[in-house]
Amino acid sequence: MAGNTATHMLSAQLMRGLLEVNVEGCVGAPDELFGFAERHNPKRAFLFVSKVLGRHIPVRPSVMNASFEHLAAKIPADLPGPVVVIGMAETAVGLGAGVHRAYSRTRPDTLYMVSTRHPTGTELFTRFEEEHSHASAHLIHMPLEPEALLNARSLVLVDDEASTGKTFINLHRALVDAGMNQLERVVTCVLTDWSGNAVRNSIGASTQQVSLLQGCYQFNEDLEAPLPQMPAVGTVEAGNWPLSARNNWGRLGVREVHDSLAPGLQVKPGDRVLVVGTSEFVWRPFLLAERLERAGADVHFSSTSRSPIALGHAIGHALSFSDNYGLGIPNFLYNVSPGQFDRVLICSETPAQAVSAQLLEILGAEVIVDEQ
């Protein structure tokens, strides 16, 4: 990905207004990194949809990994340690894991954690709010290595995009108030950053913002447009299929995660395979997708989401179905059509019977369950 310093003006006419962006710097071409969409959310109408994240648009694992590597290379190598990397639920838990994997190759003193909307039944460290979100509450669990969190001198916060920077500011404040008071450096790490210097201006000069794209936006809202009905997806309660804390890939803090999902799975070169993560369970499925891509299959990766998004712009197709955690909330899979792939593998951290039978039938999919 070559750097691009040319200014690009882009816009999208949404039902609730005109979104205009000014791209001031970008690794590669802006339209290769993101597109636009409209939320079913009265709090914020617009959404920047990443084309390299593997959440709302299926992406080859190798393309996703390139974004992990480029972002990690922008994080200062000399951050004082220990370093804690936090990926933001739900959209950026896999991105954060990928950035952590790349960065930790030369920094063994790094711990990866995620914010989550799924309680594990273990002790909470803190919680914070993402006010504009369809699901505003985030939980941070106490890690299995509490001292790694409490003694951290550097904090890397990873998300797919930053619109105002307020969520990062809220999280930093919550962490410090909960006892993470040894911090000397803070780095925000995002694919697309529209927040200007908001985080640095709030937290202080010890903060650095890194991204693949920087710019600013303006949303000219049509105040007469009707507000959408947003489905109730904001719960942070335990579902009917409770999570096992032993399947730890980030909620309780990890140094590394091994590729151990479906070790005997075989593919043929050229097979069109879609690997689907579910909700926050995306990193082990991504490692599986990487392995299948290395074996010669034509692999794409995507994930289900609780984010309600309207059709149009970057969202060409949407499937809606019940969540696999037993929460009774709708989940969605975007830009995946029946027959698009030879094989669809839906990966779950809950039992196979918890995965929507409707979704499996529509896509002719198989369920892969994490049994670690």
- Count CB-CB contacts under 10 A for residue 105: 11
Whether pLDDT at 2 is above 60: no
Convert the pLDDT of each residue in 207-224 to its tens digit: 999 999 999 999 999 988
Q: Which of 231, 247, 365, 259 is nearest to 302 (CA)?
A: 365
Supply the pTM of this predicted model. Answer: 0.94
DSSP output for 149-200: HHT-SEEEEEEEEESSSHHHHHHHHHHHHTT-----EEEEEEEEE-STTHHH
pLDDT level of residue 233 (50, 70, 90 thresholds): confident
| Host H or E run for residue 360 | helix 357-363
Q: How confident is the model at residue 134 (pLDDT cuts 50, 70, 90)?
A: very low
Task: Give the separation between CA 168 and CA 175, rounded to whole angstroms.
Answer: 11
Residue 220, both tokens: 């000219």
> Angle, to 10 degrees, between the axis of helix 61-74 and the axis of helix 93-104?
60
Taking residues 154-163, report their average pLDDT.
96
Residues sharing a CB contact under 8 Å with residue 205, sequence separation 6 or more, in sequence order: none
- The answer as to CATH 3.40.50 being correct for domain 272-369 is yes
Cβ neighbors of 33 (< 8 A, separation 6 or more) are 26, 27, 50, 51, 52, 191, 192, 212, 213
Q: Mean pLDDT of all residues in the chain?
A: 93
Within 8 A by CB and 6+ apart from 21, the residues are 9, 10, 11, 194, 215, 216, 217, 218
For 65-81, what is each residue's pLDDT tens digit? 999 999 999 999 999 99
Contact (CB, 8 A) for 246 and 144: no
- Give residue 46's pLDDT: 92
Give the pLDDT score at 235.
79
Q: How confident is the model at residue 133 (pLDDT cuts 50, 70, 90)?
A: low
Residue 56 has which token pair?
A: 């709302």
**Position 145 pLDDT exceeds 60:** yes
Every domain of the chain and the residues it spans: 272-369
Q: Per-residue confidence at 56, pLDDT binned at 50, 70, 90?
A: very high
How far does CA 309 lie from the centroid of its chain? 16
- Measured CA to CA, the distance from residue 201 to residue 216 in angstroms comes to 16
Note the pLDDT tens digit of each residue in 323-346: 999 999 999 999 999 999 999 999
Question: Based on the number of CB atoms within 10 Å of its own CB, is 181 exposed (0-12), middle (13-18) or buried (19 or more)?
Answer: exposed
Mean pLDDT, to the nearest integer, of 73-99? 97
Q: Which two tokens stand for residue 194?
A: 């529209």
